[in-house]
Amino acid sequence: MYKLKNYVGGQWVQGAGEGIKLFNSVTGEAIASTSTDGIDFAEVLNYGRTTGGEALRKMTFTQRGLMLKALALHLFAIKEKFYTLSASTGATRVDSWIDIEGGIGNLFAYASLRKQFPDLPYYVDGEAISLSKKGHFSAQHICVPKEGVALHINAYNFPIWGMLEKIAVNLLAGVPAIVKPATVTSYLTELMVQEIIASGILPKGSLQLLVGSARGIIDHVGSQDVVTFTGSAWVGRQLKSNPNVINNSVPFNLEADSLNASVLGADAKPGTPEFDLFIKEVHREMTVKGGQKCTAIRRVIVHESLIDEVQKALSERLAKTVIGDPLIEGVRMGSLAGLEQRDDVIEKVQQLALSQEIVYGDVHKFEVSGADKSKGAFISPILFRNNDPFVKTDVHNIEAFGPVSTLIPYKTIEDAIAISRLGKGSLVASIVTNDDKIAKEFVLGSAAYHGRILILNNENAKESTGHGSPLPMLTHGGPGRAGGGEEMGGKRGVLHYMQRTAIQGTPTTLTHVSGVYIPGADRPEASEHLFKKHFEDLVIGETVYTHKRTVTETDIVNFANVSWDHFYAHTDVTSLEGTIFEQRVAHGYFILSAAAGLFVDPGKGPVLLNYGIEEARFTKPIYAGATIGVKLTVKEKMDQEKRDEEDISKGIVKFYVEVYDESDEVVAVATILTMVRKKDQS
């Protein structure tokens, strides 16, 4: 029998002793054992903080993002290696696709997110803040990687996705990870980590793996570490209340299983597309991964006039679901992750049955295709009905983590909102309706209790990712029972692994420290026009001071005719009474266009193109007779990778454009984005 290995301290290590036996959840056969006995957890943490952390913190966001992209491409190319072993967890091909390719998709998503960060090891957060009248004292927030590790304690239901969706975030932030998967399915996580380490794509120490018990590791985490936990609320609270976590103010993100709800709008009657969508969605959430999803629908909230029809349609669809060996053709629901998980679901079903009626399924009487149900961790889908949800409240407190849901009637949308709230906080809720008024009322009435809300109707059905699909760029987490934490969430998630610090000083000093031009900083005049300089030669803060031009009334009239912008303030001097304007005013966009005419160097050079404007503001009206000039300053530089060997080596440069008048007052500001060629074309 294969004994799993831990990957710690840069080596594959087997724990001491016989370890814990792991089983194929379909056949019941022992397939591996695992142990962490003899491993020094304090040393594992220290290795990650030093070797892994030091390497990652030296990399820029661009480099880390490209690292994730390379890893995603590598794993995608060998994805079939994971499917067969995944079936041993009870997962069908569709279940495995969510786990394997969904997890790899998170790597791709966070690799692309690098474009929203500077080509620096740290992040400059928000705009600079002037703190003095004369402009010599300013502040800027920066975010730097925490100098600890991300300790991920994951659940058994997604042994690959659970790891990749988390490490994608912390690695982009520049923080190493220690992954502790749930023991029962850790053999699949170990297989993927083997491939990740063998690829050599990640720096040493940036990823470590513990298969087996990690009891006691929380005693060694520190204030620079981040702990994430996915699983039962009870275990999560025990870990979060560890004295070491409390005393050292260790960031702890808890994502707990929750009693997620889906609501069918009163408008979605039988025969409507929304009714059919609802039945399909609830059935999918009950049976995909055998209902072992933290986002699965546990409470099915239906208008009382529709509940009998929903019960009938859902029961008929469940009856067609073939349960069995996930490798057998036609099987749509495999087993649970293990016998212990199955027994726990049966126990919870029995508890729920004391206060509500089973209207479909039997935990003991059901057919299994291609397997022996006495050996595998199989169970039938169970559908309850609870006609009195405000009195019989077990449904709002007890979760059977499997293919188990409860039908609940409501009279008004206010009732539906109140019922959804009784779950005391969830990861996700959904409402299926084609009535936007109903959708708005439900969302605004219940959003405080749910981390995500899906509004599903026939228009978005074909493109919807569904009730139970967390997405990389969206926050995954929820209040109350759901743990009160957040994962993923795009840039928000990355910043969870960084320390936000306010720095104060002169604008010049802050520009030097942050690597981004701060308004008010010294702007040395460039020795030659900035558009003649290659990417490598541009220096943050250096500036071109242009010649000046006087705006005429003819300019204003001509621009109105060319642009077709005939807003009265530009064209009708008889309508200015009672406005803020003293006379015909120049178009703001003319001022920017005129500024471009002043700062653009017309000759062919390293600047390839201008592809955007950010943060354009017009701060003072310009009338005919005013004279304007421009200060063009290098604000920020971002490296850009080549798409292929034929592509031009280049980078993105942000230029700060400041337009001023004859009294030296600023009349307009903007940031332009340009693509600039590099000297080195290798």
Identify the residue whose tokens are 């009239």.
557
Using CA atoms, how far apart are residues 503 and 156, in angstroms rounded to an integer?
A: 43
Measured distance CA(515)–CA(540) in Å, rounded = 7
Our answer to whether residue 294 is catalytic in this structure is: yes
- Grade residue 576 by pLDDT with cuts at 50, 70 and 90: confident
In whole angstroms, what is the distance from residue 295 CA to residue 39 CA? 34
In angstroms, what CA-CA distances link 603 with 532, 596, 600, 678?
A: 8, 14, 9, 17
Phi, psi (deg, nearest 5) at residue 456? -110, 130
Q: Are 434 and 71 in contact (CB under 8 A)?
A: no
Residue 395 has pLDDT above 80, yes or no: yes
pLDDT of 72 higher than 90: yes
- Where does the chain hold its CATH 3.40.309.10 domain(s)? 260-467
- φ and ψ at residue 364, rounded to 5 degrees: -115, -30
d(CA 589, CA 612): 14
- Residue 384 is predicted with a pLDDT of 97
For 646, the token pair is 């034929």
CATH architecture of the domain with residue range 523-677: Roll (3.10)
pLDDT at 573: 87
Going by C-alpha positions, the residue among 585, 611, 619, 608 that lies closest to residue 671 is 611
Give 467-525 pLDDT, tens digit per residue.
Answer: 988 889 998 999 998 888 888 889 999 999 999 999 999 999 999 999 899 998 999 99
- Nearest Cα neighbor of 476 from 65, 146, 158 is 158
Task: Find out whether 484 and 498 touch, Cβ atoms under 8 Å.
Answer: no
Q: Mean per-residue pLDDT for 148-163?
A: 93
**Cα-to-chain-centroid distance, residue 107:** 11
User: Cβ atoms within 10 A of the Cβ of 245, count?
Assistant: 20
Class of domain 260-467: alpha beta
Two structure tokens written together for 421: 């709230």
Judged by phi (left if over 0) then psi (alpha if -120 to 50, else beta), residue 532 lies in alpha
DSSP assignment, residue 52?
I
**Percentage with pLDDT > 70 across the chain:** 100
Instruction: Report the Cα 90 to chain-centroid distance in Å.
Output: 27
- Amino acid sitting at position 235: V
CA 455 – CA 478 distance, rounded (Å): 17
Express as a percent the part of the chain with pLDDT over 90. Answer: 79
Task: Tell me what pLDDT residue 682 has.
Answer: 59
Quickly count: other Cβ atoms within 10 Å of residue 528's Cβ: 10
Question: In the block, which residue shows the tokens 């099987």?
Answer: 331
Q: With CA atoms as reference, report the closest residue to 656 among 635, 638, 630.
A: 635
- 333: confidence class by pLDDT, cuts 50, 70, 90: very high
CB-CB contact of 24 with 44 (8 Å): no
Which residues make Cβ contacts (< 8 Å) with residue 367, sequence separation at least 6? Answer: 323
Q: Is residue 632 within 8 Å of residue 528, measured between CB atoms?
A: no
Q: What is the DSSP string of 204-254?
A: TTSEEE--S--TTGGGG--TT-EEEEEE-HHHHHHHHT-HHHHHTT--EEE
Average pLDDT rounded to a whole number, residues 168-194: 95
Beta-bridge partner residues of 632? 544, 657
Measure the CA–CA gap between 8 and 47, rounded to whole angstroms.
8
- Calpha distance 411→429 (Å, rounded): 19
Predicted local confidence at residue 81, as pLDDT: 93
Residue range 34-47: mean pLDDT, rounded:
93
pLDDT of residue 126: 87
Alpha helices in 362-463 (DSSP H): 413-421, 436-446
Nearest alpha-carbon partner for 593 in 539, 485, 672, 499: 672
**Residue tagged active-site, from 143, 274, 294, 542:** 294
Convert the pLDDT of each residue in 55-67 to its tens digit.
Answer: 999 999 999 999 9
Is residue 527 within 8 Å of 164, Cβ to Cβ?
no
Which tokens belong to 544?
A: 């071109």
Cα radius of gyration rounded to whole Å, the chain: 30
Length in residues, the chain: 682
Q: How many C-alpha atoms does 228 have within 13 Å on its Cβ side?
A: 28
How far apart CA 251 and CA 225 sit, in angstroms, is: 7
CA pair distance 185, 166, nearest whole angstrom: 17
- Nearest one of 621, 280, 274, 564 to 432, comparing CA atoms: 274
CB atoms within 10 A of CB 611: 10
Give this prediction's pTM: 0.88
Determine the residue type at 39.
I
Count of beta carbons in the 10 Å neighbourhood of residue 675: 17
In the chain, DSSP finds a helix count (H) and a strand count (E) of: 19, 28
**Residue 397 predicted with pLDDT over 90:** yes
- Residues 74, 76, 82, 83: what is their CA dihedral angle, to the nearest 10 degrees? -160
Task: Assess if CATH 3.40.605.10 describes domain 38-256+492-498.
Answer: yes
Average pLDDT, the chain: 93
User: In 10 A of CB 295, how many CB atoms?
Assistant: 23
Structure-block tokens of residue 76? 């995608």
Q: Which tokens is 586 given? A: 């120049």
- Is residue 352 over pLDDT 90? yes
CB atoms inside a 10 Å sphere around CB 303: 21
Q: Which residues pair with 357 in a beta bridge?
A: 385
State residue 1's pLDDT score.
67
Task: With cut-offs at 50, 70 and 90, classify the pLDDT of residue 681.
Answer: low
Token pair, residue 154, equals 């994951």
Contact 414, 445 (CB under 8 A): yes
Q: Which of 255, 281, 399, 658 is catalytic?
A: 255
Q: Delimit the CATH 3.40.605.10 region(s) of the chain.
A: 38-256+492-498
Q: Return d(Cα 612, Cα 654) in angstroms, integer.
A: 10
Q: Does 16 score more than 90 pLDDT?
A: no
CATH 3.10.129.10, the chain: domain bounds: 523-677
CA distances from 81 to 4, 191, 330, 480 (A): 17, 9, 22, 39
Residue in the structure block whose two tokens are 């009891």: 215
Tokens representing 329 are 């053709």
Q: What is the pLDDT of residue 645?
A: 78
pLDDT confidence tier of residue 127, bands split at 50, 70 and 90: confident
| Alpha-carbon torsion angle 344, 350, 354, 356, nearest 10 | 90
Q: What is the pLDDT of residue 224?
A: 95
Strands in 371-514 per DSSP E: 382-385, 404-410, 429-432, 453-456, 475-476, 487-488, 498-505
